[in-house]
Structure 1
Amino acid sequence: MGSEHARVGEVWYFALPVPRNTSTEPIEITEVSVEHVPAGLKTLGYGAYDLEDTEGLPLLAKKNGPHMPDFGKLKNHATKPVKVAAGTESDIFYLAEVRITAPPKDTARQCRFAYRQGGRSYTQTLDCEVELKVAEQLSPTRSR
């Protein structure tokens, strides 16, 4: 996923893969991160939100964009481990918040999840990728 209409200084949100527990034991997700963040993007933080509160999964959205949830007013479930029952998909999804500091040199990719299960800690890295291209800005014309 991506956008070709980003601008330097903008803040964007993108969803990490929705956690799915395929095992027979519950898990608790303790931390998430994007492993490869290219030059030109700065990670501002991560949040965890209920799919019902956002009326679906916002894959990629510009902060304060049209039809965008106001994440500042929603409950952020990332303040404690997110539990996912055995054999289910989570109702909670994770979101990365990034600021464009310069035209990005590459895509952001590789989403890492840290979790606990049965008293042991694990990590798993899943494929994910987002490309934010800075739109060419027209320079103002001068009149003589």
Structure 2
Amino acid sequence: MTDAFFQGKRRRAAAAVGAVAFGLVALSACDKPTPLATVTVGTTTVTTEAACFDESKTLDEAALQKCLADKSVKSIKVKQGDKIRVGVEPKIADESWFVVAGNQPRSNQTKQTYTSLNGDQLFYNQQMGTLDKSTVLSVVSKNGVWSVKLELDKD
């Protein structure tokens, strides 16, 4: 009778050890999530992960251009006169960041976690002197790029 009791204990112990080992393996296979950037227009908010991010090194010019060219980004509608609010996690702010839209810097470099921009100015195409129907707003830091597509809503 006691032999069956000890065998059950061994099985439970072996199952517990197996579960812990599996959990550790599963956790070690996960990538560390990148910091997030958030864009808010009115009551609509879009949160995005980095198109590219490496906290251990500074992006070179080629990597930066490749990240800025990424078009697979979330989108948000903007009406004329709307304010665009851009927020970043403290980890991004500590390294300083700025906003690019239409391949033009649209904010000064800052170490704040939040900035507000005039939506109309972000759609203005300086080369053509017109308003574009959409533009990609990118948060740029020395370690990464976060992008959101802004679509002009004429309604």
TM above 0.5: no
Q: Relative to total residues, which structure has the larger strand share, 1 or 2?
A: 1
State the structure with bigger RCO (CA 8 A, min sep 6), 1 or 2: 1
So what's the TM-score if we normalise by structure 1?
0.35
Larger-gyration structure (1/2): 2
